[in-house]
A and B are shown apart, each in its own frame.
Chain A
Amino acid sequence: MKVDGATPTNFSGLPLILVGLSFALIIGLPRLASDWWYLSIVGWLFLAASWGTSVEVKGETLRLNYAFGKLTINVPLSEIEDVKVVSRLERAVLIREFPGLYVLIAGAVLFAFLDLLLLPSGLLEGYYFGDMGLIFFGLLYLVVMSLPFSRMHLAGMFGVFTIIFVTLLMRIKTGIFDPLPVLFFAIFFPLFVAEYYSKEYVVITAQRRRYCIMAEKPEPVLKTIMGGVSGEA
Chain B
Amino acid sequence: MLKLPEGMERVWIMRAKGMREVDIAEALGISRQAVNKALKDARVKLFEAFFAIAETFSWDVVRVNAEKGFAVFSGKVLGKRVRVYAFYLPGKGIKAFFGEDVPDYILQHALEVGIIKKPEKEGLIKALES
A binding-site residues for B, Cβ under 8 Å: 77-85, 88-92, 96, 205, 218-219, 222, 226, 229-230
Contacts and interface: CB of A to CB of B under 8 A. Distances in A.
30 contacts: A78-B40, A78-B44, A79-B40, A79-B43, A80-B47, A80-B66, A81-B65, A81-B66, A83-B61, A83-B63, A84-B62, A84-B63, A85-B61, A85-B63, A88-B60, A88-B62, A89-B63, A89-B130, A90-B129, A91-B126, A92-B129, A92-B130, A96-B130, A219-B60, A222-B61, A226-B48, A229-B44, A229-B47, A229-B48, A230-B48
Given A82-B67, A92-B129, A205-B67, 9 more contacts: A78-B41, A78-B44, A79-B40, A81-B43, A82-B65, A83-B63, A222-B51, A229-B44, A230-B44
B64 A83 contact: yes
Interface of B: 40-41, 43-44, 47-48, 51, 60-67, 72, 74, 126, 129-130
Interface SS majority for chain B: mixed
Contacts of A79: 40, 43
Contacts of A77: 44
A90 B100 CA distance: 13
A170 B63 CA distance: 44
Nearest to A223: B51
